[in-house]
Amino acid sequence: MTRNGLAILALSIAPLAAMPGAASAQSVLGSGVAPATVDNSAERPIAFATAMPADAAIAVVMTGADLPALAASLPADTAARIAAADFTGADGQTLVLPAPAGGRPIMLFGAANADGEPIDWRVVGARIAREFQGEDAAIAIAGLPSGEAMAMAALGASLGQYRFDRYKSDRSAPPVQPITLVGSAAAEARAQWESRQAHLAEGVRLARDLVNEPANVIYPASFVDRARAALAGAPNVTIEVLDEADFRRLGMGAIAGVGQGSSRGSRMMVVTYRGADGPPIALAGKGITFDSGGISLKPNSGMWEMKGDMSGAAAVTGAILSLAKSRAPVHVVAVAALAENMPGANAQRPGDVVRTLSGKTIEIRSTDAEGRLVLADAIEYVVQENEPFALVDIATLTGSAVGALGAEYSALFARDDAHADAATAAGRLVDEPVWRLPLNEAYRKAIVSDIADIKNSDASPAPGASAGAHFIEYFVPEDLPWIHIDMAAVDRGSGSDPLVPAGARGWGVMLLDELARSWRPG
């Protein structure tokens, strides 16, 4: 090129370099413009009372045709109307009563199960909260038979009215008058609510918020910030956060490798709640804040849902929040393995080999089998540093689990029948059911790599969910009680369940909370 040509080139470039803000703009992650500056709209607070509040819409819970003790608050002809409508108090039945002139609505809600199964009072509370969600008045719920039933209905009412609307620029403010649970056992119900159920609702709400948020808002560093804010002031809680420099220093190449193609650095958040002495139970959650598939790129259809590929990390974070704020008498360590899986110029490739904290090696057959990679280092770290008596990992891990079980169950894997039974019982108690799938020696052999210790994909003839479980098992000491939960099928809800609005379910928070309380060493 001629000297004049060089001069011309220099002149053409110089004005671009001199443009104000040109260099700094390249250092901004994302657009630099927050998509919202408001929180979700407020929900109705929960209250308890022994007397009916004035000017409230009334919901009466019934398990038969006989009126409860508050009959004086109802129209005089209520019994006759019940008989005329053939209202028996069966689950799902409702009966609207005429309100006095200018008065608030009155509705009877049937709750009795036809098969005699115990009533889930949470569902009752959620149904009522949804039915009256647009009512511009306080809501009173009466007819519940005990303090425990009132507290559980309050939990349901809280979960059922959850909303995620902070990105709706045209939203209207919903009614925020309280929901009051009315009954003679109000004091007992309030004590149960304030000591446990309110904190459980907060843990589920945190998990739902984390999963519902878009990936330009929740990424590894901001996930940690959100968790820190939620846990601020919780008793006996400490938080440790490892970053990419720590991963390189410690030799944690599996989690480092997953995030190396993203401009947003990976993190490992370790939250410890010490509410008891002795070794902890460890909860490890997959936290892929967005999963593009990496170089093994996913198809576009449905990829937006991969903002929720951190549902496992959200579940363990919500669970330890609930446990800590309710001062549960347990020792728990929750690990969130956080990375964004992107196909950048520095992204890992199929065929690469990575090394974990312990020195075990993994051949990358697919960069879209990344959740098991971040969990490998997370599990080895928590076992080495915290010496737990048991380990539960939870992840939106495989489409295979979805194909096997549909949207009704999470897949459960365990080496020991007693451990599987413990998880199954906990899931049944909180209505977050799990179904056990097999571990098998043939499947275990199928993950062996030709050039490394194991491979993260292409594990025929092992079914995908079992191959993923065996991969994770490879990093769990043989003598450590262990449960693996593949929750890929259940992280989102359609809105048909009264307890679960459309969007993130917060699944796993209640299961892990219960399991941490009930599982003991030995």
Query: How do residues 298-354 score in pLDDT, each as one tens digit?
Result: 999 999 999 999 999 999 999 999 999 999 999 999 999 999 999 999 999 999 999
Cα–Cα distance for residue pair 87/93, rounded to 1 Å: 7
pLDDT exceeds 60 at position 18: no
Q: Which CATH number fits domain 46-164+175-194: 3.20.20.70, 1.10.3720.10, 3.40.1190.10, 3.40.220.10?
A: 3.40.220.10
pLDDT value of residue 361: 98
Query: How do residues 105-114 score in pLDDT, each as one tens digit?
Result: 999 999 999 8
User: What average pLDDT does the segment 456-460 reach?
Assistant: 97
Cα–Cα distance for residue pair 319/341, rounded to 1 Å: 25
Query: How do residues 112-147 score in pLDDT, each as one tens digit?
Result: 998 878 999 999 999 999 999 999 999 999 999 999
Fold adopted by 215-518: Aminopeptidase (3.40.630)
Which tokens is 331 given? 């020792």
Query: How do residues 363-418 score in pLDDT, each as one tens digit?
Result: 999 999 999 999 999 999 999 999 999 999 999 999 999 999 999 999 999 999 99
pLDDT exceeds 60 at position 7: no
Per the residue annotation, which of 298, 327, 360, 436 is the catalytic one? 298
pLDDT value of residue 522: 74
DSSP class per residue in 122-133? HHHHHHHHHHTT
pLDDT exceeds 80 at position 479: yes
Q: Whole-model pTM?
A: 0.93
pLDDT exceeds 90 at position 437: yes
Helices 509-518 and 417-430: crossing angle in degrees, nearest 10, is 130
pLDDT value of residue 510: 98
Per the residue annotation, which of 372, 444, 455, 517 is the catalytic one? 372
pLDDT value of residue 514: 98
pLDDT value of residue 161: 94
Residue environment code for 334-371, b if the CB has 16+ CB neighbours within 10 A, otherwise e: bbbbbbbbbbeeebbebebbbbbbbebbbbbbebbbbb
Considering the chain, tell me which residue range(s) the CATH 3.40.220.10 domain(s) occupy: 46-164+175-194
Considering the chain, tell me which residue range(s) the CATH 3.40.630.10 domain(s) occupy: 215-518
Cα–Cα distance for residue pair 42/171, rounded to 1 Å: 12
pLDDT exceeds 60 at position 19: no
Let me know if 298 is a catalytic residue.
yes
Let me know if 190 is a catalytic residue.
no
